[in-house]
Amino acid sequence: MIRRDGQRAVEGQGVVSCTEAPSTTISSTTIRIALLSDSALFRSGLHRLLSSDRSFLVVGEITAPPMREALRSSVPQILLVDAQTSGALEICRELRLNGVRPWVIMAGADGHEGWAVEALKAGVRGILSKTATVENLLKAVRVVHQGEVWASNRVIALSVAELAARSVNPREGKLAFGERLSAREQQIVHLVVDGLSNLEAATRLGITEATVKAHLTHIFQKLALRGRAQLAARYHGRLSAPSRGARRPVLDA
C-alpha cells in the first residue's frame, strides 16, 4: 500500500555512535533510527525531534560512507538520509544492492520530481521535501516502518508510468536469464535485484544462506558479471552482454 506525503557521543571514521536508552525504556514497538548527514546541525536537529517521541530511538549518527559496519552494529530499522549529502542516491543503491536493509527516508529534498523518481528506483522508501513539517516526518517514519512508501501522488504516478512503459518494452538483457540460468537461479536473481540479502533470499526460498551464495557465484560465472551491481544492471537492461572472449570476472557473492 502507498501513502501520500502532502548522552554522549564518540566520533570516529565518519560515525557518531549514540548511547542507547536503558533497556527498560525500549519496547518491541520502538523504531530504531540512524541518521546520515555531514551536517552536524541536520543530525542534531533530527535527533532532538525524534527523541521527543518515546516510540523512536536514535541508535547512531553517520557522517560519511562507508557505513555498512555502522549499520550492522546499530541495527537500525530506518535510515534518515540528508538529501543534500553528496552522492546520496549512490549510497542508497549500494545499500540496496548489498542487501543492507534499513528502510531509507530522504529528508530535505528539493522537490524535483525526476530526482524523486530516481530515488524510489534506488530503493528509497520515503521522500520528505524541505517544506515537510515535523508531523510529516513522524508520520513518514511510521509509514515506512510498516513497509509502505511515503511520497507525493505525482511522484508515485510517474514511477508507475515508468514501470508500465518498461513492462511493454522488455529488455533484451533479460533473455539471457531464461536461457542460461536454472529455475532456482532465476528465483534468486529476482530476489537479489529486489534488494534482498543472501540470508533474506535463503529464508524466502527455504534454503541455506551458503546455498544462495553458491548459486550467486554460478550466476556471476554464467553471465560474466562482477557482482550484484552488474547483475541488477544487466537485469534492467543497463549493461550489455560481454563478448565470448571476455575475461572471467572477479566474483562478489
pLDDT digits (tens, 9 = 90+) for 65-88: 777 777 888 889 999 999 998 888
Which domain, by its residues, includes 15? 2-164
Half-sphere exposure of 12 (CA within 13 A, CB side): 6
Instruction: Kindly state whether residue 253 falls inside one of the protein's structural domains.
Output: no
- 182 and 99 housed in the same domain: no
DSSP conformational letter for 65: S
- 176 and 149 housed in the same domain: no
Q: What is the pLDDT of residues 138-179, one digit of tens each?
A: 999 999 999 899 998 888 888 887 776 665 444 545 556 777
- 229 and 198 housed in the same domain: yes
Residues of the chain short of pLDDT 50, as ranges, are: 1-13, 17, 19-26, 168-170, 172, 243-251
Distance CA 144, CA 124 (A): 10
Instruction: Kindly state whether residue 110 falls inside one of the protein's structural domains.
Output: yes
User: What local confidence, expressed as pLDDT, does residue 6 receive?
Assistant: 43
- 208 and 139 housed in the same domain: no
Contact 120, 99 (CB under 8 A): no
Instruction: Kindly state whether residue 64 falls inside one of the protein's structural domains.
Output: yes
Q: Find the CATH number of the domain harbouring 33.
A: 3.40.50.2300
- 211 and 87 housed in the same domain: no
Half-sphere exposure of 174 (CA within 13 A, CB side): 10
Distance CA 80, CA 93 (A): 15
Instruction: Kindly state whether residue 251 falls inside one of the protein's structural domains.
Output: no
Contact 78, 145 (CB under 8 A): yes
User: What local confidence, expressed as pLDDT, does residue 230 receive?
Assistant: 80
Instruction: Kindly state whether residue 228 falls inside one of the protein's structural domains.
Output: yes
Q: Find the CATH number of the domain harbouring 179.
A: 1.10.10.10
Supply φ then ψ for residue 247, to 5 degrees. Answer: -70, 150
- 99 and 223 housed in the same domain: no
Task: Give buried/exposed letters for 205-240 (b at 16+ CB in 10 A, else e).
Answer: bebeeeebeebbeebbeebbbebbbbbbbbbeeebe
Q: CA torsion, points 93, 146, 84, 94, in degrees to nearest 10?
A: -10
